[in-house]
Amino acid sequence: MNEKTETGQQSRKEAIEAQAKLRRERAAEKLRENLGRRKQQVRARRSGQADETNGLPAAKLDES
pLDDT digits (tens, 9 = 90+) for 1-35: 455 667 778 899 999 999 999 999 999 999 999 99
CA 44 to chain CA mean position, Å: 23
* Amino acid, single-letter form, for residue 62: D
Q: What is the pLDDT, as a whole number, of residue 1?
A: 46
Q: Spell out the residues 6+ positions from residue 61 whose beta carbon is closer than 8 angstroms to its own.
A: 53
- DSSP state for residue 50 in the 8-state scheme: P
The Cα–Cα gap between 43 and 39 comes to: 6
* pTM score: 0.54
